[in-house]
C-alpha cells in the first residue's frame, strides 16, 4: 500500500527566511504527487503537482518542489517566507490519474512564522 | 474561477440523528471525492464517484452512504451519528480525464459537530 511520510510535525521559521518541508513516499511506481496547504479551519488549496517531466515544479505563492526518484522524496521549498505562509502543509500521492483514485496524505507539517 | 461548493458549512447534530452533506463540483468536473478530517489529523478518504458510479471506497462506515446525481453533485448521508463522527468533511472534484485528470480541488468543508 502506498504511504506518505512528512517527518516534521512542526517547523518554525522567521519571516524572510527560507523554508523546506520534507515528504517521502512509498509506492511501487512513480506516483502522482501533490502539495496542499490548509489554513486553520479552511479547505485544502493545491500548491503544486508533479505528474511527469521536469522534476522541479513551480507552484503558486512562490513555492516549488523537487521530485527525486532515487530518494522517493518530493520536498517543498520557498526562498523567502511571508507571515501569511503560516499554515499546515500536506503532501499527498495518488495512484495514477484515473478518475476516482484516492489521495493518500502525509500527516502534515504545521508551519509557524516568527516576525 | 468557480470552486467546489459544500453545504452546509457547519452542522450540529445529536447522537443517533442523521445528517446530509452536499457537494457541488467545479463545472465540467465529473468526479467527486469525500474525505473526513478529524481534529489534528490528515484527511482520510471515504468514497469517490466517477460519472455517477462509485469509483473507489475507503474507510467509510456502513452507517454512511453517498451518491452522485445526474448533475454531478453528490450527497453524503450519515445515519446513527456518533460522537466520533465529529470532523471536517471535505468534498473534492476533478476532471475525469485529460491532462487535469487526477488533480483534486477541494471545497471549504462542512464542519460536523455531534453532541
Given a cut of 60, whether residue B99 has pLDDT beyond it is: no
CB within 8 Å: A43 and B33:
no
Please name the member of A45, A46, A102 whose beta carbon is closest to the beta carbon of B45.
A102
Asked if residue B58 lies in contact with residue B45, where contact means CB atoms within 8 angstroms, the answer is yes
Alpha-carbon distance of A79 to B33, in angstroms, equals: 33
Output B7 or B30, whichever has higher pLDDT: B7
CB within 8 Å: B109 and A42:
yes
Strand, helix or coil at A71? helix
Alpha-carbon distance of A107 to A40, in angstroms, equals: 15
The predicted pLDDT at position A27 comes to 79
The predicted pLDDT at position B1 comes to 75
Does the CB of A105 have a partner CB in chain B at under 8 Å?
Answer: yes
Given a cut of 80, whether residue A28 has pLDDT beyond it is: no
Q: What percent of chain A has pLDDT over 90?
A: 77
Please provide the average confidence, as pLDDT, over all residues in chain A. 92
The predicted pLDDT at position B45 comes to 94
Mutate to test the interface with A, among B30, B100, B101 (most CBs of A within 10 A): B101
DSSP letter for B40, please. Answer: T
Name residue, grid cell 512528512: A6
Under the banding of pLDDT at 50, 70 and 90, the label for residue A97 is low
pLDDT tens column, B70-79: 999 999 999 9
pLDDT tens column, A67-88: 999 999 999 999 999 999 999 9
Amino acid at each position: 500500500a502506498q504511504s506518505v511520510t512528512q517527518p516534521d510535525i512542526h517547523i518554525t521559521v522567521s519571516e524572510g527566511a527560507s523554508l523546506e518541508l520534507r515528504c517521502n513516499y512509498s509506492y511501487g511506481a512513480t506516483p502522482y504527487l501533490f502539495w496542499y496547504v490548509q489554513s486553520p479551519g479552511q479547505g485544502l488549496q493545491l500548491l503544486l503537482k508533479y505528474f511527469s517531466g521536469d522534476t522541479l515544479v513551480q507552484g503558486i505563492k512562490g513555492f516549488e518542489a523537487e521530485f527525486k526518484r532515487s530518494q522517493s522524496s518530493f520536498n517543498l521549498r520557498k526562498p523567502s517566507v511571508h507571515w501569511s505562509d503560516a499554515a499546515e502543509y500536506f503532501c499527498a500521492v495518488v495512484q495514477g490519474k484515473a478518475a476516482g483514485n484516492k489521495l493518500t496524505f502525509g500527516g502534515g507539517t504545521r508551519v509557524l512564522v516568527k516576525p | 474561477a468557480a470552486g467546489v461548493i459544500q453545504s452546509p458549512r457547519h452542522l450540529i447534530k445529536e447522537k443517533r440523528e442523521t445528517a446530509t452533506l452536499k457537494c457541488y463540483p467545479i463545472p465540467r468536473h465529473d468526479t467527486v471525492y469525500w474525505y473526513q478530517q478529524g481534529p489534528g489529523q490528515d484527511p482520510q478518504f471515504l468514497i469517490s464517484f466517477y460519472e455517477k458510479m462509485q469509483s473507489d471506497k475507503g474507510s467509510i462506515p456502513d452507517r454512511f452512504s453517498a451518491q452522485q446525481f445526474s448533475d454531478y453533485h453528490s450527497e453524503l448521508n450519515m445515519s446513527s451519528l456518533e460522537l466520533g463522527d465529529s470532523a471536517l468533511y471535505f468534498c473534492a472534484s476533478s476532471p475525469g480525464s485529460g491532462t487535469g485528470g487526477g488533480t483534486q480541488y477541494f471545497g471549504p468543508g462542512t464542519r460536523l459537530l455531534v453532541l
